[in-house]
């Protein structure tokens, strides 16, 4: 548990005071005991010596008076040790005292003292004895005795008075220690609160202390450091803002790896670029973060040489992202080495490049096929088939069909180009979907009957009209229904339905045709795209039908969605925006 500085200082003083008084108490208690014991002994000896000035007969008469003055039991013993007077006990019952320690010591040294248990009184006693003489001959002894508990009571009273004085001094000392601890910790507490607000980022001014010691100097140093820190933080924030603005405005994503190979910075662009499939990558290694063997291999190759390196890698499984990765060294400090990895998303460029190449190849192939047929038949006619009228007609019919096919191809390309360039003139008006669909079904019936395909129109009669170009709307449904009939095997079926969902009128055309693999659906709106080129070419067409539908729907403010299952059928949904009130 965290203790405050005030508590530490105060309890340190308290411990010192208590320890000092504890040690003082030990020494004073013993000193008081020794001093009071010696004093009592001295007083008893003085009384005994005063008694020695009188004759034995007088002293016996004044025995009780001497006992009252000395506060002790007085016993008179003759030279043989026989007790002949006592202030408290009957002398008949008392034994010879000659061998008592205090008597023997008095006989030998002039005074004697002893502490022991009294068999007569049954308590611990203190004894002093002095001899009294007649013409330099010891004629007897005066012995004074006091119970030890009386002695102890006197000692305790003196010690109690001393202890009360000590406690009073201790209380005063604690009050002084409390005040001193508060005055010492107050500026430290003020600086602690100031720096805590600074750490939290709260607005702080200047710390001012009403002191003239080292804490005032420390406060001045803190104020100076705070101002310096503010300037450095402002400068760092400006630099960071510039850096983040640069990173944000870049099309490239930036990632910085520290010396241990751990990611410590990811730019917002890279977060958006790799948002799908990856969690927060900060604090992880490259392999932990991206699980890309190609990226890890490139990083390890760079780590060996520390030379700038560039690689093209693919990341992600569901929606792969193609990235051009550049790895270079960064030295923020002389003794620190980091790595910067720049990611440039080239997925769209690669897709556009592939679409461009496919488009060029498809246009070339689509144009070459009818041109080859036309040139071949014309050369055959030129080489002599002109004499055979039937063969000539046949060749001319075939050449005409190929020329018409080539013309449709050019027209379809011009249609898509005009829509994309917004050069197509669309005459918007309220158009009945029921009427358009009925007319298109009439056009498709002959082709459907030839394949025994049933067309079921489930559209409601009261379906709301849409704002559209009538001719372009017809072109949309002709392409969709023609595809449905074209790719539906014999004896199949088609179902047309319509409903209003949200802000759209949705017309669906579902067939039981050959279907499309799931991974090919997203490419169905591309120009010349065919799922199976060998089979699709047998059905005729330019390969631009769904692309025209897609662009015309966009021109009408709607969209096209396709759902399909291989060998089970396809459903095309056309979303027309509802006419606003």
Q: Which of 128-142, 183-197, 360-374, 482-496 has the highest mean pLDDT?
A: 482-496
Q: Write down the pLDDT at residue 288.
A: 79
In a domain, 520, yes or no: yes
435 and 489 both lie in a single domain: yes
Look at residue 274 and tell me whether its pLDDT is greater than 80. no
For 23-81, the three-class secondary structure string (H helix, E strand, C coil) is HHHHHHHHHHHHHHHHHHHHHHHHHHHHHCCCCHHHHHHCHHHHHHHHCCEEEEEECCC
Mean local confidence (pLDDT), 312-328:
80
**Residue 220 neighbours by CB under 8 Å, 6+ apart:** none
Q: Write down the pLDDT at residue 316.
A: 72
43 and 108 both lie in a single domain: yes
CATH code where residue 325 lies: 3.30.450.20
In the chain, pLDDT over 70 holds for what percent of residues?
78
In order, the DSSP letters of 196-216 are HHHHHT--------S--SHHH
Q: Write down the pLDDT at residue 61.
A: 65
> Cα–Cα distance between 362 and 528 in angstroms, integer?
6
In a domain, 224, yes or no: no
335 and 376 both lie in a single domain: no
Q: Write down the pLDDT at residue 4.
A: 63
In a domain, 184, yes or no: no
Q: Write down the pLDDT at residue 1.
A: 40
558 and 442 both lie in a single domain: yes
Q: Write down the pLDDT at residue 532.
A: 52
Q: Write down the pLDDT at residue 169.
A: 76
Q: Which of 288-292, 347-351, 448-452, 552-556 has the highest mean pLDDT?
A: 448-452
Q: Which stretch of 15-24, 70-79, 301-310 has the lowest confidence by average pLDDT?
A: 15-24
Of 140, 155, 170, which residue constitutes the final position of a domain? Answer: 155
In a domain, 1, yes or no: no
- Pairing label, strands 428-431, 263-266: unpaired
In a domain, 517, yes or no: yes
Q: Which stretch of 47-56, 141-150, 160-169, 348-357 has the lowest confidence by average pLDDT?
A: 47-56
127 and 84 both lie in a single domain: yes
Mean local confidence (pLDDT), 322-338:
80
Look at residue 177 and tell me whether its pLDDT is greater than 80. no
Mean local confidence (pLDDT), 349-365:
69
Q: Which stretch of 6-20, 71-85, 445-459, 500-514 has the lowest confidence by average pLDDT?
A: 6-20
Q: Indicate the number of domains in the chain.
A: 4
Q: Which stretch of 26-30, 303-307, 435-439 has the lowest confidence by average pLDDT?
A: 26-30
CATH code where residue 386 lies: 1.10.287.130
pLDDT higher at 169 or 103? 103
Mean local confidence (pLDDT), 552-570:
86
151 and 19 both lie in a single domain: yes
In a domain, 13, yes or no: yes
Q: How confident is the model at residue 575 (pLDDT cuts 50, 70, 90)?
A: very high
> Cα–Cα distance between 307 and 298 in angstroms, integer?
11
Q: How confident is the model at residue 382 (pLDDT cuts 50, 70, 90)?
A: confident
Q: Write down the pLDDT at residue 475.
A: 84
Q: Which of 88-92, 234-238, 486-490 has the highest mean pLDDT?
A: 486-490
Q: Which stretch of 94-103, 343-352, 496-505, 517-526 has the lowest confidence by average pLDDT?
A: 517-526
391 and 470 both lie in a single domain: no
Q: Write down the pLDDT at residue 527.
A: 56
pLDDT higher at 145 or 54? 145
Q: How confident is the model at residue 293 (pLDDT cuts 50, 70, 90)?
A: confident
276 and 306 both lie in a single domain: yes
383 and 332 both lie in a single domain: no
H-only helix segments in 62-147 = 63-70, 101-109
150 and 49 both lie in a single domain: yes
Q: Write down the pLDDT at residue 421.
A: 60
Cα→Cα distances 412→72, 300, 354, 415, Å:
143, 52, 21, 5
Report residue 280 CA to chain centroid gap.
11
Of 136, 155, 174, which residue constitutes the final position of a domain? Answer: 155
Look at residue 339 and tell me whether its pLDDT is greater than 90. no
Element (H, E) at 138: strand 137-147
Q: Which residue has the tokens 């059905």?
A: 539
In the chain, pLDDT over 90 holds for what percent of residues?
3
15 and 114 both lie in a single domain: yes
H-only helix segments in 428-469 = 433-450
Q: Write down the pLDDT at residue 535.
A: 45
In a domain, 226, yes or no: no
Q: Write down the pLDDT at residue 521.
A: 67
pLDDT tens-digit readout, 48-68: 776 654 555 666 667 777 777
> Cα–Cα distance between 531 and 522 in angstroms, integer?
11
Of 345, 375, 395, which residue constitutes the final position of a domain? Answer: 345
Q: What is the pTM of this model?
A: 0.40
In a domain, 169, yes or no: no
Mean pLDDT estimate for the chain? 77
Three-state DSSP at 263 gives: strand
Q: Write down the pLDDT at residue 151.
A: 63
433 and 536 both lie in a single domain: yes
User: Where in the sequence is the domain holding 379, given as residue range(s)?
Assistant: 366-417
pLDDT tens-digit readout, 489-538: 998 999 999 988 888 889 999 999 888 877 666 666 565 555 554 444 44
């Amino acid at each position: 548990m965290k203790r405050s500085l005030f508590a530490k200082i105060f309890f340190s003083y308290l411990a010192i005071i208590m320890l000092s008084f504890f040690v003082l108490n030990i020494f004073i208690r013993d000193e008081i005991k020794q001093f009071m014991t010696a004093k009592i002994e001295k007083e008893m000896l003085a009384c005994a010596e005063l008694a020695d000035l009188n004759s034995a007969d007088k002293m016996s008469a004044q025995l009780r008076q001497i006992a009252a003055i000395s506060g002790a039991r007085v016993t008179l013993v003759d030279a043989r040790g026989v007790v002949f007077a006592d202030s408290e006990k009957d002398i008949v019952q008392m034994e010879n005292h000659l061998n008592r320690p205090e008597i023997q010591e008095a006989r030998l040294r002039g005074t004697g003292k002893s502490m022991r248990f009294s068999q007569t009184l049954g308590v611990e006693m203190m004894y002093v004895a002095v001899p009294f003489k007649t013409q330099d001959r010891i004629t007897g002894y005066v012995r004074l005795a006091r119970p030890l508990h009386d002695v102890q009571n006197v000692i305790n009273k003196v010690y109690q008075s001393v202890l009360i004085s000590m406690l009073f001094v201790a209380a005063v000392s604690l009050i002084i220690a409390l005040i001193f601890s508060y005055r010492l910790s107050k500026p430290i507490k003020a600086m602690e609160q100031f720096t805590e607000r600074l750490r939290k980022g709260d607005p702080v001014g200047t710390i001012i202390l009403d002191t003239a010691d080292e804490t005032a100097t420390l406060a001045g140093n803190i104020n100076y450091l705070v101002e310096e820190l503010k300037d450095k933080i402002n400068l760092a924030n400006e630099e960071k803002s510039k850096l983040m603005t640069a990173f944000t405005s870049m099309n490239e994503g930036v990632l910085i790896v520290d010396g241990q190979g751990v990611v410590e910075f990811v730019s917002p662009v890279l977060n958006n670029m790799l948002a799908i499939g990856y969690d927060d990558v900060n604090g992880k290694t490259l392999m932990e973060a991206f699980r890309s063997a190609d990226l890890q291999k490139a990083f390890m190759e760079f780590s060996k040489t520390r030379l700038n390196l560039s690689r093209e890698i693919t990341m992600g499984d569901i929606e792969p992202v193609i990235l051009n990765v550049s790895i270079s060294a960064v030295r923020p400090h002389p003794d620190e080495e980091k790595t910067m990895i720049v990611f440039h998303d080239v997925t769209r460029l690669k897709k556009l490049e592939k679409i461009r190449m496919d488009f060029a190849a498809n246009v070339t192939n689509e144009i070459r096929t009818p041109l080859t047929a036309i040139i071949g038949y014309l050369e055959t006619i030129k080489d002599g088939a002109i004499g055979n009228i039937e063969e000539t007609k046949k060749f001319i019919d075939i050449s005409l069909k190929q020329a018409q096919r080539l013309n449709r191809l050019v027209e379809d390309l011009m249609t898509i180009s005009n829509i994309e360039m917004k050069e197509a003139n669309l005459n918007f008006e309220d158009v009945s979907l029921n009427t358009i669909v009925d007319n298109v079904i009439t056009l498709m019936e002959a082709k459907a009957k030839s394949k025994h395909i049933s067309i079921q129109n489930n559209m409601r009669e009261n379906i709301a009209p849409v704002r559209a170009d009538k001719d372009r709307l017809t072109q949309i449904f002709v392409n969709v229904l023609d595809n449905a009939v074209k790719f539906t095997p014999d004896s199949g079926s088609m179902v047309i339905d319509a409903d209003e969902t949200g802000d759209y009128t949705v017309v669906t055309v579902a067939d039981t045709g050959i279907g499309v693999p799931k991974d090919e659906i997203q490419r169905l709106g591309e120009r010349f795209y065919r799922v199976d080129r060998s089979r699709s070419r047998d059905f005729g067409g330019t390969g631009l039908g769904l692309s025209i539908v897609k662009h015309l729907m966009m021109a009408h403010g709607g969209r096209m969605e396709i759902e399909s299952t291989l060998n089970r059928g396809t459903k095309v949904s056309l979303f027309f925006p509802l006419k606003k009130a």
